[in-house]
Amino acid sequence: MVKPAGWVVDMRHYIDEDTADLPEVIPERVLSLAIFFGAIVAWVTDHLPEGNEHTNVPCRRSPGRRRCRGDIIAQLDRSSGYIVWECPRCGDHGMIHGWEDSLWNRDVGPHRCPTVPPSTARH
Ligand SMILES: [Zn+2]
């Protein structure tokens, strides 16, 4: 099932246009892939701009029916805009695009608004 070039996925394929969320009806296999790739996107965008390639996302493969115990390594390739990931244990790897407007993008950009505004009130 693994293509020689690895997985190349577009996160927009997993999103229902009407709800901007995962479709109500989605095959279990597709759903588990969407969650896997979404978790990678969430991790990478959550750690921008510095980046932290050691994600907390476990590898989803089970070669020889034994669950791979690798954790996914992922980073944003700024030249292509793709999120590139691989499993250091089993070598599964791929690229993700179309994640910018997805629900998994946690990068709020350079215009970060403080959630708690500094209080100037005196008591
Ligand atoms: Zn693996």
Where exactly are the structural domains of the chain? Answer: 15-97
How many angstroms separate the alpha carbon of residue 71 from the centre of ligand 1?
7
How many angstroms separate the alpha carbon of residue 62 from the centre of ligand 1?
8
**Which residue matches tokens 């959630």?**
115
- Give residue 64's pLDDT: 86
How many angstroms separate the alpha carbon of residue 66 from the centre of ligand 1?
10
- Give residue 1's pLDDT: 47
Give the integer Cα–Cα distance in Å for 19 and 23: 8
How many angstroms separate the alpha carbon of residue 77 from the centre of ligand 1?
21
pLDDT by 10s per residue, the chain, length 123: 444 568 999 999 999 989 999 999 999 999 999 999 999 999 999 999 889 999 999 999 998 889 999 999 999 999 999 999 999 999 999 999 999 999 999 987 664 444 555 556 566
- Give residue 37's pLDDT: 97
How many angstroms separate the alpha carbon of residue 33 from the centre of ligand 1?
14
Nearest Cα neighbor of 37 from 77, 69, 82, 91 is 82
What CA–CA distances, in Å, run from 83 to 23, 47, 51? 23, 12, 11
